[in-house]
Every structure is written in structure tokens, then in C-alpha cells.
Amino acid sequence: MNLLEKLTQKENLTLAETRNFMLEVMRGEISEIVLASFLTALKMKEETEEELLGFVNAVRDSALPVEKDFPFDFIDTCGTGGDAKASINISTLSAITIASMGVRVAKHGNRSVSSVCGSSDLLEGLGYPFPSTVQEAIEKFEEHGFVFLFAPFWHPAMKHAANVRKQLGFRTVFNMIGPLSNPLHPTHQVVGVYSSSILDKVAGVLEKLNLKRALVCHSRDGYDEFSIFHETEYVLMQNGSRSYHVFNPKSFIPHFQENEIQIYSKEEAVKKAQEVLSGKLTAGTYSVALNAGVSLYIMGKANAIEEGYHLALEHLQKGEPFNYLKKICS
């Protein structure tokens, strides 16, 4: 029985089957019509943790090789996107904020698929020069403690799936693969996901990728990150175990309306990002501070998320992240 037939009969695939299929995709050996049918059938069946891990292993194995072992801990804050919230790019601004506080960050990301402004769109608008070689990326990372890893550069074989993803127009397994495929293999990670239904699934894959500490989150008002408006569900992985939590920001974060962090163009995204990083107190500033605080907590720089939030907020109010941005853009 071929894989597509198994999927149409709601049968799960093995790790080896999904890994081998993805390798064939990235070698250009799978036609677009077969790939589209496969992705649609897989979505209708719903991906298993094992299937997702097979895809991730294939993408990691096919990425540009990095002949370097970093002697320090570092984090990625890449999320799945796809929450349809049209918010400022909180994960990217959080990454810049914590990097300016001395936390090393290798930020994986791409152009916008469903949002107004993706992580690479924003950084491009802010003047950040993308590394053009693997060696340049390593040097930037070691010098500044921050590097942006533009997914199409690091995963050139994924071009064979690009047209199908665009034409399908709905979320597929590829949305989950991106945050799990950082080519530098971070030691710590915060992954925001587009639905609470995949929290456990993504957590299970992260466990098998042997990170030191990781967190997967989805807010109850629909964000693929921690929300300042509502509770956020998250799964914490540390010391070989998994625990489940709900975070409520209402006792210490001022009240805002959702439209205060929404954007409608790349230009507006860049403007609001500059305001946040330079110390202007807006709803976006509090959102970035909260999510930066989560990363500080995961990296052991704060004893609790709330403590991390206060540290990040104080740092943002001083405008230090904007000074840091100018340095990494030079």
C-alpha cells in the first residue's frame, strides 16, 4: 500500500516513511499534484508526533551543513505563525530584546505566509543584513550573540514544496516543521503554536531533539505566543519531564485592546517595532516584554516568567534594544 493510500484510509505513517517521503520531496522527486494530495490527506487525518519527527529529521538532515559546535547555550524563539491575528512580530522583537540583554539567540524565520509581516520582512525593514554564507552567519553569531537564519537560504531544498504550499492556502505540516528545523540546533527553545491541539505533539518532538529546556505555548485568545490579554497554555520540558501550565497576565499587565498591537502593512510593522525597541510604552512593548520574559525564564536568567517580564520591560524602557539593533545592523 502506498503512503497516499494509507493516509486516505486514516492510517498513520512510520517515522521512516515520513522521513523518506520528505527526502524525496526535497530532491524534487515528488510531483506537485502528489505532494498536494499528500499534505491534504495528512491534514485531514491529523499528523502524529512520530510523523512530524520524521519530517523534521529529513529537513534537518538536508539543511546546509554547519561544521561548528558552539560552546555556549542559545535559544530560538521561532513560532509556527498562522494565528491570523495580524499582530506585530512579537517573537522577533523578543529575540532582539533578550539578545540585547546578553542572551545568545539564533532566530530561525521566513517571509510572511499568512501574516502581514514575517520575521524576515521585519528585519529587512529594520535594516538587518542577512548573512550570505554559513561562515558569515557563524561569525555574526559569535560576535554579536544574535543571528537571523533565513529559512530559504538554509533549507534550499524546500523550494520544491514552495509552490504547493502557496497554492494550497491552508496550514499544513510545513507550518510545524519550520520552528523545529533550526540548522544551528539551539540548546533552548520557545515555540508558539497556532492551536492548543498541537501543543503536546510539538512538545514531544522537542523532547526527542534533546534540548536542555524548552516551552511550547498557545494563548486561549488564539495567539501563537504568550498573550497580554488572556491566559496562555504552555508545556514546559526540563530535566527529562513534561509539565502543563496556564499563565494569567491580568494581575500585573495593564489592560489593552487587541487592535493596539495589530498592523496592516510592513511599513506600520517597522514603525511599531522601532517604537517598542526604543522605549515607547505601548501595548506592543508589554507584549514583547512578556514574551522576552518567557525566554529569560527558559534560559535560567529569571526564576519565573513574571520576573523575566519585569526585567525585560525595564530594559525596553531604557531603549537598550534599539541601540543593540543599530549595532547588529552596522
Q: CATH classification of 75-151+173-329 is 3.40.1030.10, yes or no?
A: yes
| For the chain, domain boundaries | 3-62, 75-151+173-329
Spatial distance between the Cα atoms of 246 and 248, rounded to a whole number of angstroms: 7
pLDDT at 166: 87
What single letter denotes the amino acid at residue 327? K
Residue 255's contacts (CB-CB under 8 Å, 6 or more residues apart) are none
**DSSP string for 269-321:** HHHHHHHHHTT---HHHHHHHHHHHHHHHHTTSSSSHHHHHHHHHHHHHTTHH
- pLDDT value of residue 86: 81
Domain 75-151+173-329 in the same topology as domain 3-62? no
CATH T-level assignment (fold) for domain 3-62: 1.20.970
Q: What's the pLDDT score for residue 82?
A: 74
Q: What is the pLDDT along the chain (330 residues), one digit of tens a residue?
A: 599 999 999 999 999 999 999 999 999 999 999 999 999 999 999 999 999 999 999 999 999 999 999 999 999 999 887 777 888 999 999 999 999 999 999 999 987 655 677 899 999 999 999 999 999 999 999 999 999 999 999 999 999 999 998 899 888 999 899 899 999 999 999 999 999 999 999 999 999 998 999 999 999 999 999 999 999 999 999 988 999 999 999 999 999 999 999 988 999 999 999 999 999 999 999 999 999 999 999 999 999 999 999 999 999 999 999 999 999 998
Q: How many CB atoms lie within 10 A of CB 273?
A: 27
What is residue 118's predicted lDDT score, i.e. its pLDDT?
83
Q: How far is CA 314 from the centre of its chain?
A: 24
Cell numbers for 9, please give them: 484510509
Amino acid occupying residue 8: T
